[in-house]
Amino acid sequence: MKDVPTEIPGGLTIAAICKRQDVRDALLSTSAASLAHLPAGARVGTSSLRRKSQLLYARSDLQILDLRGNVDTRIEKLKRGDYDAIVLAKAGLDRLGLSANISEVLSTDVCLPAAGQGAIGIEARAEDAESLEILSALNDGKRAAEWKPSVPSWLVWKAAARFPSARGAAWRAETLCWKLPCFLPMVHNA
């Protein structure tokens, strides 16, 4: 759900949000067991402004470099030495059977995930009652509650293109609690 546009096209709706997988980010490295053990000046690849900002907050000595390509391509770039480490979503690695490449699962205190990270959403035609009824069986109500309130905050902040943004939601008893930090863009190591 993290890559779903902030505005759903007319006539469509998010019909279901499936059970959410691990929301955390994962550090992959061929030379260090953890973020703390990366050497000063280590080259860390990510394509996410949110991750860049949080990694630099945790370790201002790192070189944060852009990382593009599908997951296999990104891991290959790490293995051939283009980066000392890369950061990817753990849920994606788990779903692709690539979790053995993980050096460290980053705490949400270090790297708060994007809204909807780890969840798969299913879009359908808003007027197709039969499809909506069938898809409702796949909906995880608590996960939908975690994602849907984040959309208005995203729209208000217009953060998609301007600011790295993260949102964390956790259930405490029957109350949904939010973390909504906003990170100012980092001008160095960009």
Burial tier of 132 (Cβ tally within 10 Å: 0-12, 13-18, 19+): middle
- Cα separation, 62 vs 64, in Å, equals 6
Residue type (1 letter), 75: I
Phi, psi of 163 (to 5 degrees): -130, 140
Q: Is 3 a catalytic residue?
A: yes
- Cα separation, 110 vs 40, in Å, equals 17
Q: How many CA atoms lie within 13 A of 129 on its CB side?
A: 0
DSSP 35: G
- Cα separation, 90 vs 93, in Å, equals 5
Closest CA to 149 of 179, 122, 127, 107: 179
Residue of 3, 82, 84, 128 marked active site: 3
The residues that are catalytic are: 3
